[in-house]
Amino acid sequence: MHPFLHIGSLTLPMYGLCTLVGTVFALLAVFRLRKKGSPLTEDNLLDALIWAILLGFLCAKLLYFIVDPPQMPHSWREVWDLITSGLVFYGGLIGGLLGLWIVSKKTKKSIVTYADLFAPCFPLAHAGGRIGCLMAGCCYGMEYSGPCAVVLDGVSRLPTQPMEAGFLVILSGVLTAIYLKKPRRGTVTGWYMVLYSAWRFIIEFFRADERGSVGALSTSQFISLFIFAIGVFLLIRSRKEVNDFISEEGMEARTLS
């Protein structure tokens, strides 16, 4: 566990630094992927990024406060620590989607068009954040002493943070491959929601940190059920659009003949 990087008199939080590195890779990926046939302009993309990052951060912080209500700060240092630490991923995802929705209304383009472009790239920023969690010593796994175990505060634990980071990098590659095949609108976003929510639901069983609960499920498991359902809906809807298109083409051909 190395929560801070010391460079001379400068002290940098590793969580923020790792998240920043992951975000840079995600930004490079999304601008590169936009050139592969996306109808969005660079201005559309910049607007979406600003709104998604701003609302993503605010909602990630808000959900963290709901799950783990903070104590009243008594100094400016404590206020700063309150702002710069503690985020919940699903809050960030919901806030990011809200930002994309706002921009989609302004540009009169479907939110799914934005989400399909962002979905393959966003896991890279998330992966950076998970490595930051490892450095900060949060989001840790259950006690475990087998291969690849990590030691946090003197306790040997399952390395859930790098496990999820590895999954997210693979997920980014899979979604990029799907995107490049130019599937129907909503397919990439649907697969992102289905695959990540299923992974998150499972990995939560192997975590041991305090993260709130809804009945027998953790907060993230509870939210995963809804994300999974939305993903399935998007995949069914995109498939239905294909079938409807094929049916319309066939009917038009019969009419012309």
What pLDDT is stored for residue 9 in this prediction?
A: 84
What pLDDT is stored for residue 18 in this prediction?
A: 94
What pLDDT is stored for residue 75 in this prediction?
A: 72
Q: Where are the domains of the chain?
A: 4-251
Please give the model's pTM, rounded to 2 decimal places.
0.88
Rg (CA), the chain: 20
CA nearest neighbour of 117 among 8, 199, 34? 34
Alpha helices (H) along 71-121: 76-84, 89-107, 111-118
Q: Can you name the residues that pair with 152 across neighbouring β-strands?
A: 155
What pLDDT is stored for residue 256 in this prediction?
A: 42
In the chain the first and final C-alpha atoms are separated, in Å, by 72
pLDDT in tens, the chain (257 residues): 788 888 888 888 898 899 999 999 999 999 999 999 899 999 999 999 999 999 999 999 888 888 877 676 667 666 666 666 678 899 999 999 999 999 999 999 999 999 999 999 999 999 999 999 999 999 999 999 999 999 998 999 999 999 999 999 999 999 999 999 999 999 999 999 999 999 999 999 999 998 889 999 999 999 999 999 999 999 999 987 644 433 434 434 444 44
- Give the C-alpha distances (Å, rounded to integers) separating 32 from 20, 25, 118, 191: 18, 11, 11, 21
Helix (H, G, I), strand (E, B) or coil at 65: helix
